[in-house]
Structure formats: structure tokens, C-alpha cells
Copies of this chain bind each other. A is one copy, B any other.
Amino acid sequence: MYVTHLECPKCELTYESEQPIQLCTCGAPLLVGYDLDRVRDSLSKEVLASRKPTLWRYRELLPIRKDENILSLGESMTPVLPLGRLGPEVGMPHLWMKDEGLLPTGTFKARGAAVGVSRARELGIKVLAMPTNGNAGAAWAAYCAAAGIRAVIVMPADSPAINRKECIIAGASLYLVNGRISDAGKIIREAVDRFGWYDASTLKEPYRIEGKKTMGLELLEQFNWQAPDVIVYPTGGGVGIIGIYKALKELRTMGWIGEKLPRLVAVQSTGCAPIVKAWQENRKESQFWENAHTIAFGLTVPHALGDFLVLEAVRETNGCAVAVADEDILKAQQMLAQKEGTFVCPEGAATLSAAMKLAKEGWITPQEQIVLLNTGTGLKYAETVHSDPPLLQPGDRL
């Protein structure tokens, strides 16, 4: 393993990594540090190219000590699809979509869970607890089942019904709360303190982000280590974009990519846009968003623990933060399905909507390489599609 330590990005305190640990004493999330010189010396792009097409190919940049602790439900490299029919129509001839809907449990959350639960198992965890908007809980419940770890999950009562069922069938201890993910978080915090469970809330353990990081590693490898110009990412808790940014910085330190990083765009819904508001007001942290509501349920995070890291990623890459309306999200979802055949989640569709807005404003130019991140399959969001097809009787004619 090439992990050297854990580090607080806020107060710069460091910790050793062989004990279960949650936040820094200052309250900020901890990040995993690697000996990147040693990684560079032991791994070449050629060796990497010959490995199996799963996220575990980035073994040297992942925090698992022993292979036997690796849990896998088949986290294949997700495709980067050229949007050849849609792109030119919306002023972006070089438009791509990385489709995370093809991961186990149907969302990018599988990356964080695969690495997070593998590491939890390695650290001897028996029970872990977390609040969730749905998809993260479903992914962690699945990997916990495979690991034999008990998962205790609290999710908002109005989160998608499918997520509930995924937790239940995997044997998790599931509770609903008549409120938002922030309310679920408070209940988990109290229980964790009382029972001594491992807190797997977003960024409260350092390893989920390492799984998400592989989105960035994979994307860059798929682009032959030539960074695209812009990466557009839907931002709820923000771990995805933080992870991609961390991947980019590690690859740059290793000399595997050039100095110039892709501009990172954080996309939120106008119904819950704390990061966008902070960005517009040039703040380093966000404020709690009251009465959050959007059809892109994964974006309903009124206050993200990692907000300052998201804002740093956007700022340091000359990116930006954009909010889009639910009705535009649904239109974008339909455009992707009808032109490209992909049924994406509303969070993913939001990235198309945001990119179109940026292209219209000239922030994105036609010669640029743009990558949208679709974070999950539309199959988990059946309620976003209305269908009322004609009903025939046997023997009828079309």
C-alpha cells in the first residue's frame, strides 16, 4: 500500500491511517495522502493498460492494504460515450458523457462504497451507519452485505422507493425520517455517539472519496491522459467532484498529465443551490439552503460538509458553478434518451442542461472537449417519465 497518512485540508493536522478514524479534531474531513513518488516508480501507463477493466486497476492509488479485503460486485470501467447526434445540435460538437449508470446498484455511489466498505472491512468494522438521500445507502447496503458488515441507514421518507427496497433486500437496518438528509444526519450522529458505530456519513470517513476519485483516474486514462477542457458534474454532497479534483492533482504530481487541469463545473438545481450561491458571492463556504426541493433528489443537500473543497476545486481549475431548473433537467433527460438512447438520472441530465447554458453564454466554446458525468441510471427514477400508451385488445389492429 502506498498510503502515507491522513491529512486535514483545513488545519493541516496529519493522522496515521491504520485505525478507524472519522473527522479531524477541527471538524473537517480527512484526505488520504500517498507516496506519489513511489507510485510513479512502481506503476507505468503500459502496465496499467494491461490490467482488468475495473476500478481496482488503480490499486496503487487506493487505500486497501491486502487484496483479500477487496470487495467487488463488478465495478467495470464505465463508458465514455460520444454524443454524436446531440452534441452538434446544442453547439458542442465534441460532447461526451461518462455513464456511471452502468455500475453495480446503478449509480456512481458504487465506487465510494466499493472502496469505503473494503477499507471498513480491513479496519475490522462490524457495524456502520449513515444518512442518505437513497443511492449511497443502497450502494453501501449492497457492499456491506457482501462484507458481512451490518449497515444502519436513515433516509428521507420521500426519497425514491427503489432505494428503500435495495437496502431492505440487502439486509440493512433501514429507517425513514419525515424530513431531509440533514435530519437523517442528526439521528445518525446521535446513534453513532451512543452505540460506538462507525460513521459512514459523507466525508466523515476518509475512504469514500478515494473510490469516487477513480472516476477521474478512469476518465483521464480513457482520454489517453490528455485532459478534456471541461468536466461537468452534478453536485449534492460534492464527494464526486472533490474526488475527481483529487485524482487530477495526484496525476499531475506524478507527471502523468500536464499542468493545465480541466475546468470543473459544479451543477446544482435552482431548488437547492447552496454551492452555486456561495460561488456567485465569492465565498469559501456555503450556507444552509432552506426548503430545499428538486426532482434531482441526489442534489437535495442543503449544506455539504465538503462545500469548501468543492468551491476550491471549482476555483482552482477556473471552473464555475451553475444552477438549472427542474423543467430544464427533464427536457435534457428526454433529449439524451431520444437522440442518444441513454436513459439518465435527473442529476445526470442536469449536466447537459448546465453545459447548454454555458455554451449559449460562450463560457464553453465549440472547439472544446466537454465531458458530462451521468451519475446514475434513469431506471431508478421511473417517476420522471409519464407514459400513457394506447391499450389494445387481443385481435386489434395498430
Contacts and interface: CB of A to CB of B under 8 A. Distances in A.
Interface of A: 53-54, 71-74, 76-79, 81, 85, 99, 102-106, 142-148, 152, 154, 157, 161-162, 164-171, 174-179, 183, 186-187, 190-191, 194, 333-334, 337-343, 377-380, 382, 385-387, 389-398
A369 to B, nearest CB: 18
The count of identical subunits is: 2
A14 to B, nearest CB: 33
Contacts of A341: 71, 73, 104, 142-147, 170
Interface of A is mostly: mixed
Contact of A169 (B169, B191, B337, B398): B337
A164 B53 contact: no
Nearest to A380: B379
B389 A339 contact: no
Nearest to A388: B168
A372 to B, nearest CB: 14
B394 A168 contact: no
Contacts of A194: 397
Contacts of A154: 392, 398
21 contacts: A72-B79, A73-B99, A85-B148, A104-B341, A106-B377, A145-B337, A165-B382, A166-B343, A167-B387, A167-B389, A168-B389, A169-B334, A170-B343, A171-B337, A175-B390, A175-B391, A178-B391, A178-B392, A183-B394, A183-B395, A190-B398
Nearest to A157: B391
Contact of A145 (B145, B148, B167, B339): B339
Best-surrounded residue of A337, A380, A386 (most CB of chain B within 10 A): A337
Contact of A191 (B168, B191, B391, B398): B398
Contacts of A385: 165-166, 168-169
B394 A178 contact: yes
A3 B78 CA distance: 31
Contacts of A99: 73-74, 104
A73 to B, nearest CB: 6
Contact of A186 (B157, B171, B395): B395
Given A102-B102, A168-B385, A342 B73 contact: yes
